[in-house]
Protein backbone atom coordinates (compact mmCIF):
# COMPACT_ATOMS: atom_id res chain seq x y z
CA UNK A 1 0.00 0.00 0.00
CA UNK A 2 2.88 2.39 0.76
CA UNK A 3 4.18 2.07 -2.80
CA UNK A 4 0.77 2.33 -4.44
CA UNK A 5 0.55 6.14 -4.38
CA UNK A 6 4.08 6.56 -5.70
CA UNK A 7 3.51 4.01 -8.44
CA UNK A 8 0.19 5.60 -9.32
CA UNK A 9 1.89 8.99 -9.67
CA UNK A 10 4.38 7.57 -12.18
CA UNK A 11 1.53 5.83 -14.04
CA UNK A 12 -0.60 9.01 -14.17
CA UNK A 13 2.35 11.10 -15.37
CA UNK A 14 3.13 8.53 -18.06
CA UNK A 15 -0.46 8.34 -19.29
CA UNK A 16 -0.75 12.15 -19.26
CA UNK A 17 2.42 12.45 -21.34
CA UNK A 18 1.08 10.01 -23.93
CA UNK A 19 -2.29 11.82 -24.01
CA UNK A 20 -0.61 15.23 -24.38
CA UNK A 21 1.55 14.00 -27.24
CA UNK A 22 -1.44 12.48 -29.00
CA UNK A 23 -3.50 15.63 -28.51
CA UNK A 24 -0.95 18.05 -29.96
CA UNK A 25 1.51 15.81 -31.84
CA UNK A 26 4.05 18.45 -30.83
CA UNK A 27 5.94 17.48 -27.69
CA UNK A 28 8.57 20.03 -26.80
CA UNK A 29 11.96 19.26 -25.36
CA UNK A 30 10.90 20.92 -22.10
CA UNK A 31 7.80 18.70 -21.92
CA UNK A 32 9.91 15.58 -22.56
CA UNK A 33 12.42 16.60 -19.90
CA UNK A 34 9.61 17.31 -17.43
CA UNK A 35 8.20 13.84 -18.12
CA UNK A 36 11.57 12.28 -17.30
CA UNK A 37 11.94 14.39 -14.16
CA UNK A 38 8.49 13.42 -12.87
CA UNK A 39 9.00 9.72 -13.55
CA UNK A 40 12.61 9.34 -12.42
CA UNK A 41 11.60 7.30 -9.37
CA UNK A 42 10.55 4.46 -11.66
CA UNK A 43 13.81 2.62 -11.09
CA UNK A 44 13.02 2.30 -7.37
CA UNK A 45 9.35 1.43 -7.77
CA UNK A 46 9.20 -0.94 -10.74
CA UNK A 47 11.16 -3.56 -12.58
CA UNK A 48 13.17 -2.61 -15.67
CA UNK A 49 10.26 -3.06 -18.10
CA UNK A 50 8.69 0.16 -16.84
CA UNK A 51 11.97 2.03 -17.12
CA UNK A 52 12.43 0.74 -20.65
CA UNK A 53 8.90 1.89 -21.52
CA UNK A 54 9.42 5.36 -20.01
CA UNK A 55 12.78 5.75 -21.76
CA UNK A 56 11.26 4.76 -25.09
CA UNK A 57 8.41 7.27 -24.64
CA UNK A 58 10.99 9.97 -23.97
CA UNK A 59 13.09 8.95 -26.98
CA UNK A 60 10.10 8.89 -29.32
CA UNK A 61 8.87 12.22 -27.94
CA UNK A 62 12.25 13.78 -28.73
CA UNK A 63 12.18 12.15 -32.18
CA UNK A 64 8.75 13.63 -32.88
CA UNK A 65 9.88 17.06 -31.71
CA UNK A 66 12.93 16.82 -33.99
CA UNK A 67 10.84 15.79 -36.99
CA UNK A 68 8.39 18.63 -36.33
CA UNK A 69 11.21 21.16 -36.03
CA UNK A 70 12.58 20.08 -39.41
CA UNK A 71 9.34 21.21 -41.05
CA UNK A 72 6.39 19.49 -42.69
CA UNK A 73 8.20 18.77 -45.94
CA UNK A 74 10.86 16.60 -44.30
CA UNK A 75 10.60 13.39 -42.29
CA UNK A 76 6.89 12.93 -43.08
CA UNK A 77 7.17 9.13 -43.01
CA UNK A 78 9.13 9.11 -39.76
CA UNK A 79 6.70 11.54 -38.16
CA UNK A 80 3.80 9.33 -39.22
CA UNK A 81 5.51 6.20 -37.81
CA UNK A 82 6.15 7.86 -34.44
CA UNK A 83 2.58 9.15 -34.33
CA UNK A 84 1.26 5.67 -35.05
CA UNK A 85 3.57 4.25 -32.38
CA UNK A 86 2.31 6.76 -29.78
CA UNK A 87 -1.30 5.94 -30.63
CA UNK A 88 -0.74 2.38 -29.37
CA UNK A 89 1.13 3.24 -26.20
CA UNK A 90 -1.85 4.02 -23.96
CA UNK A 91 -2.87 0.35 -24.12
CA UNK A 92 0.70 -0.87 -23.83
CA UNK A 93 1.28 1.33 -20.80
CA UNK A 94 -1.88 0.17 -19.04
CA UNK A 95 -0.89 -3.44 -19.54
CA UNK A 96 2.67 -2.90 -18.29
CA UNK A 97 1.64 -0.92 -15.20
CA UNK A 98 -1.36 -3.09 -14.29
CA UNK A 99 0.66 -5.73 -12.48
CA UNK A 100 2.03 -3.03 -10.15
CA UNK A 101 -1.20 -1.15 -9.49
CA UNK A 102 -3.02 -3.57 -7.27
CA UNK A 103 -2.79 -4.47 -3.63
CA UNK A 104 -0.86 -7.67 -4.12
CA UNK A 105 2.86 -8.17 -4.51
CA UNK A 106 3.92 -7.87 -8.21
CA UNK A 107 4.05 -11.16 -10.06
CA UNK A 108 7.53 -12.36 -10.83
CA UNK A 109 8.42 -13.00 -14.44
- CA nearest neighbour of 4 among 108, 94, 107, 98: 98
pLDDT at position 102: 76
Question: Tens digits of per-residue pLDDT, 43-94?
Answer: 999 999 999 999 999 999 999 999 999 988 889 999 999 999 999 999 999 9
List, in order, residues 6 or more apart from 99 with CB less than 8 Å away: 106, 107
Q: Does pTM top 0.85 for this prediction? A: yes
Amino acid sequence: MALFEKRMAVYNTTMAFIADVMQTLKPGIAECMEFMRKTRDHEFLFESEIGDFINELYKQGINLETYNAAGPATHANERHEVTEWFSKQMGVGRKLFLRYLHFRKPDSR
